[in-house]
Copies of this chain bind each other. A is one copy, B any other.
């Protein structure tokens, strides 16, 4: 298991000595998923925080009409989880699957608690990344309230320029809250005046 990506991620917010690093890594399980494989299904209990080292995951719900709604994409270096299920211990409503073949590191809630007990700094680490996620999620709420579909599309292109390469359009459309058909129309209109693959 190559733990360097996750150690680099952790070191963005806290400093660990070698013993702490080793203890942390000893709690992780590495797992691989093929494209379209489920990491977590709705109604299951999500017991793990998931860190992606290769490929891309996605979290989404299915509504009463069978439509998918994408909550999050997780490319390498990102954390993903059904946090409702994780903190309540109850069945969640999120599906998490692999957009493309992926490798992840899993940290169960149980092991996370023992990590907090032995290396309290991690309490700080997870507080900080949760704060950052909250800022991003709230910004997304505001974007949905205040921006048109075209504006949200343009924002997405700037915020995640690389995701379009590995994620099907219909999933991005779903993330933006529009239909695949309308996404296609917006996109062609957008690149008509910007030139395909950006300007000068």
Contacts and interface: CB of A to CB of B under 8 A. Distances in A.
Interface of A: 61, 63, 67, 69, 71-72, 83-84, 87, 116, 120, 123-124, 126-128, 130-135, 137-142, 144-146, 174, 177
Q: What are the 3 tightest A-B residue pairs by CB atom distance, in nearest-first order? A: A127-B127, A137-B137, A69-B145
A177 B127 contact: no
B142 A141 contact: no
A83 B128 CA distance: 11
Main secondary structure of the interface of A (DSSP, over half): helix
Given A127-B127, A137-B137, A146 B69 contact: yes
A12 to B, nearest CB: 13
A75 B72 CA distance: 30
